[in-house]
Structure 1
């Protein structure tokens, strides 16, 4: 099974999810450090659609200025545009497999995608 992890190495939960994926037999893992290589707007839209959530639900509030910028109440395109411009606003870790997409908080959420 192929899995893509949208990863921030400074995030403990993201590191734990990566360890789960690396330890799992049969998982072909691609790790994308999204702060260095941010996803495109189209990719973010696809990820959130596949996860069944709105971009606002994928917004990282803690440690960002998202609330001050009014992003939790903004329209989807405004949120996506902000995330592309400032990828720290993307909540992590996002994992994509053939079974779907999820923000894996807590880290055991990744097991539902395997």
Structure 2
């Protein structure tokens, strides 16, 4: 089976929903709790690039020291933003998911469905009660 990795924060509902969708496809991913084991610079840059994002798009504002560090300043370079993300991993938006089909920042959680190598195996409802997958394993909406 293909290798799947999730850069996960168990305290984040979106991250938990993404992990549950991966498992609903019959995949047991490598789970990297990135706050405990942050990616190195090379890995972080590769995740961002492969997901088709800019460094700024991969930066998390809510619940982070984003404002205190002045990271909204448009004059800051990608290298400066990366330095901040590496010094404060909570600034890395989540969850990044890596599969044989690509990399995505799975926000909202159902974005992961676009890169999973296997289909969903049954119904799935997000923690907030929103149905995402029907009983036949098909995406709703």
- The interval holding the TM-score normalised by the smaller chain is over 0.9
Equivalent residue for 2:12? 11
In structure 1, what is the Cα distance between the partners aligned to 2:67 and 2:98?
27
Equivalent residue for 2:47? 47
Could you say which structure has the larger radius of gyration? 2
Equivalent residue for 1:20? 21
Partners of 1:56 and 1:71 within 8 A in 2: no
How many residues were matched structurally? Answer: 113
Equivalent residue for 1:100? 102
Q: Which runs of 5+ in 1 are unaligned?
A: none
In structure 1, what is the Cα distance between the partners aligned to 2:21 and 2:94?
15
In structure 2, what is the Cα distance between the partners aligned to 1:52 and 1:102?
8
Equivalent residue for 1:84? 86
In structure 1, what is the Cα distance between the partners aligned to 2:71 and 2:23?
34
In structure 2, what is the Cα distance between the partners aligned to 1:71 and 1:31?
28
Q: Give 4+ residue runs of structure 1 displaced > 6 Å after superposition.
A: none
Summarize deviations over 1:63-83 as a string: whole Å, max 9, x none: 112134232422111111111
Residue aligned with 1:2, SS:
coil
Query: Normalization by structure 1: what TM-score?
Result: 0.92
Root-mean-square deviation (CA, aligned residues, Å) is 1.2
Partners of 1:100 and 1:113 within 8 A in 2: yes
Equivalent residue for 2:29? 29
Residue aligned with 2:111, SS:
helix
Q: Which runs of 5+ in 2 are unaligned?
A: 117-141
